[in-house]
Amino acid sequence: MDYYNLESELPLGCQSFALLRSFGAVYVDKTAFVYQIAKHIRPQILTRPRRFGKSTLLSTLEELFRHGVKPLTDQSDSPFKGLAIEQLWKDSGHYLVLHLDFHDLNSGRTAAQFEAALMGAITSFCHEQALSVPDDPLDFGAIFGHMLKQLAPMSLVLLVDEYDSPLLYHAHEPQELAVCKNVMRQLYSAVKRNSGKFRCVFFTGITRFQDLDLGTSGNSFTDLSLDPRFASCCGYTRDELKQYFASYLRHSAAIREGCAPEAVSAEQIETLLDDMSAWYDGYSFDGSQQNKVFSTWSVLRFFDNVYASTEPYWSFEEGLGLPQLLKISLDRIDLKQLLEQMEQGEIVLGAKEFMESSLINPQANPYSLLFQTGYLTFTKLFTPSSKVHLACPNEETKLSFTNLLARHFFNLASDICSSKSKQEVLAALTSLDPEQLRSFFNNSIEILPYTHCPNNEFWVTDLVTLLLFGIGFKPRLEVMSLNGRADCVFDVPQCHLTVVFEFKYEASFDQNKLDDKLAEALQQIKDRKYALNGNSEPRVARFGLVFCGEPGKRGFARVALADVLPSNG
C-alpha cells in the first residue's frame, strides 16, 4: 500500500484552518459548531483536554471573522467552500481579530515575563491597527483598556487559546500565581466593562473558571464545556471517521487483512472501527452515548503510523493534561479508595462536589480535575442535580492512567504496562505456567525502587491490582469466600477461567523463608476454599505468590499454582 496515493493529507502538526483547506488536508467539518459560537456576542468559553482540536476551532473562527465565507479573489475559492457554514453565515462584516495564545506567551516565563509578553502582543496589535499606546502603561489592564477605548462598537473579535496555561504553570508558586490571577482578572474585567466593543469573545483551555478560583471575574462568560449541543464540537465521531477518513480506513484495514484496499469489505472496516473505538473512543462531555467522540490526536497518529507495521499501532502520549494539573490531581488521590472504585467499574461523586472542584482548595475532589485532562469521562448523562459517573474512556487512557498512578505512588521510572501486557498475561494463564506469570510481573516492575513504600502484602496487592486494571481486567479486591477473603480475584473470559491470587511478603531473600511463605499461601488457599462458591467462569485457577523485599532482589521470588478446580467446588 502506497501511503502517498491517499487523496488527502492528514492534518497532523497543522492547526491553521486556512492552511489545512488550501493544502487539501482532511478537514472534519465542524463549522456548524463554529456558526453557533460566532452568531452570539456574549463571551463564551470551551474547555477540552489537550490535542482535541481547540486551536483549529479558534483558527476557523479567526478566518471567518477576518474574511467571511466569500472568495478572497475572483481566482480563488473561499476556504469555507462546501462547508456547512457557507450557507449559514449571513454576516458580511469584517472585523479586527486579536488572537492570543497564552501557552506561547507564557512558555518558560515567570509571571511578570508573561504579563510583559502579553503587553507586547497588545502593543504589536495596536501598531498594526494604527492605534495609540500609553507612553508608560503600568500594567496589562491599562494598555488593554486604552486600546479598547479607541475601537468602534462591535468591531473587535477576541480569541484566547489555552487561557489557563499561565495559571496551571504557576499553580505551586503562590506569589507567581497571584500575579497571573491579577492579569486574568484585569482581562475579564476589561471585557465585561467594554462589552459593547466586542463582536465575539471566545476562550479555550483545559480547566474551567471555577477550577482556577478566580472568583467572579469570569462570570460574564457562558461556559459551553458541558453543553450537550457542543458535546462533539471537538474530537471525531464514528460517523465522521467513516465520512472523512474513508480511504485511510480502507488502507488501514487492508494492511491488517493483508489484502489490496479494493478487496476490503465493509465488515472488515467496521471491525477496524470497533478496535479503534475500544482504544480511542468513549470521550463524552455530556454523558450521552450518542455524543461520544474519538481522541483527535490518537486517531491521526494511528492513521499516520499504521503504515509502518502490519501490527496494530496504538499511540500513547502522556500529555492529555498539563503535568502541573496531573500532579495536583494525583497528589489528592487515595490509592486504596481509588482501587475499590475501579472494582465497581466507575467513580461516583456528587454533582455539587464535581462542579465545585478547585485547584486551590486541597480538599477538593481530584476526579473532577482528571475529567478536565481527559483521563476520566462521563459514563452516564450529566445533570447538575444527579450523581456524576466517571471512568477511563478507552484502553489507551486506561493504560496511561495506570502508568501515571504507578509512577506517582510507586516511584516507577517507566511504564508498568503496555498494549502487549494483556497478551502476555493471557499466554501465562492459558498455559497455567507459574514461571511465565512470575516473569511477567517481575518484568513489569523490574526497576521498582519503592524504598519509600510500605513493605507488606497489602502494598503488593495494590500494585498488582493496578497493573491488572491497566491491561483491561477487573480485579475484585479481597473477595469474600466460604471461609475468608482472597487478596485478588479476576475473571479471564478468554480462558473461561477465574483467577485467584494470594500474596505473601518476605523481607529477606532467605530460601527457606520464601518456601515457607509460599507453603503458607497455598495452604491458606485450600483451607479457605477461595472462589469456589460460584463464579462467572466455570474453572478457578488459584495461585500463591511471594514477594521478596530485599534490596537487589525485589520482586516475586515464588509463584506456584495451587490447583485448578470447578468454580462450584
The band of 415, judged by pLDDT with boundaries at 50, 70 and 90, is confident
Q: Return the CATH fold of 29-230.
A: Rossmann fold (3.40.50)
pLDDT at 7: 63
Give yes or no for a contact between 457 and 505, defined as CB atoms under 8 angstroms apart. Answer: yes
pLDDT at 310: 43
Q: Residues 198-229: pLDDT tens digits?
A: 999 999 998 876 666 666 666 788 999 999 99
pLDDT average, residue stretch 77-94: 92
What ranges do the domains of the chain cover?
29-230, 323-396, 411-566
pLDDT at 191: 93
Rounded-to-integer distance, Cα 429 and Cα 423, Å = 10
pLDDT average, residue stretch 363-381: 88
Lowest mean pLDDT among 334-338, 519-523, 557-561: 334-338
First to last CA, the chain: 54
Specify the DSSP class assigned to residue 109.
Answer: -
The band of 390, judged by pLDDT with boundaries at 50, 70 and 90, is very high
pLDDT at 372: 87
Specify the DSSP class assigned to residue 471.
Answer: T
pLDDT average, residue stretch 306-317: 52
The band of 1, judged by pLDDT with boundaries at 50, 70 and 90, is very low
pLDDT at 343: 77
Burial label for 42, CB within 10 Å (0-12, 13-18, 19+), is exposed
Instruction: Name the more confident of 42 and 444.
Output: 42
Give yes or no for a contact between 287 and 346, defined as CB atoms under 8 angstroms apart. Answer: no
pLDDT at 456: 76
Q: Where do we find the cell 482548595? A: 361
Q: Residues 92-113: pLDDT tens digits?
A: 888 999 999 999 999 878 999 9
Residue 452 has pLDDT above 70, yes or no: no
The band of 309, judged by pLDDT with boundaries at 50, 70 and 90, is very low
Residue 318 has pLDDT above 70, yes or no: no
Residue 5 has pLDDT above 60, yes or no: no
| 41: region left, alpha or beta (phi > 0 left; psi from -120 to 50 alpha) | alpha
Residue 312 has pLDDT above 70, yes or no: no
Q: What's the whole-number average pLDDT of the chain?
A: 87
pLDDT at 170: 86
pLDDT at 496: 92
Give yes or no for a contact between 432 and 509, defined as CB atoms under 8 angstroms apart. Answer: no
Distances (CA, A) of 83 to 24, 26, 217, 556: 13, 13, 36, 59
Rounded-to-integer distance, Cα 379 and Cα 485, Å = 30
Percent of the chain with pLDDT over 70: 89
Rounded-to-integer distance, Cα 559 and Cα 522, Å = 10
Residue 84 has pLDDT above 50, yes or no: yes
Instruction: Name the more confident of 77 and 503.
Output: 503
Radius of gyration of the chain (CA): 27
Cell of 400: 496511561
Instruction: Name the more confident of 519 and 215.
Output: 519
The band of 317, judged by pLDDT with boundaries at 50, 70 and 90, is low
**Whole-model pTM above 0.85?**
yes
pLDDT average, residue stretch 141-156: 95
Rounded-to-integer distance, Cα 489 and Cα 116, Å = 57
pLDDT at 70: 87
pLDDT average, residue stretch 236-258: 93
CATH of span 411-566: 3.40.1350
Cell of 423: 497478551
Q: Using alpha carbons, select from 385, 383, 386, 376 the residue that is nearest to residue 347.
A: 376
Q: Residues 271-290: pLDDT tens digits?
A: 999 999 999 999 999 998 88
Distances (CA, A) of 463 to 11, 393, 444, 453, 553: 39, 22, 10, 11, 17
Backbone phi, then psi, for 198, in 5-degree steps? -105, 135
Residue 517 has pLDDT above 80, yes or no: yes
Looking at residue 353, its amino acid is: E
Rounded-to-integer distance, Cα 253 and Cα 274, Å = 12
pLDDT at 324: 72
Alpha helices in 306-349 (DSSP H): 323-331, 335-344
Q: Name the β-bridge partners of 391.
A: 377
pLDDT average, residue stretch 451-469: 78
Q: Using alpha carbons, select from 88, 84, 95, 78 the residue that is nearest to residue 17.
A: 78
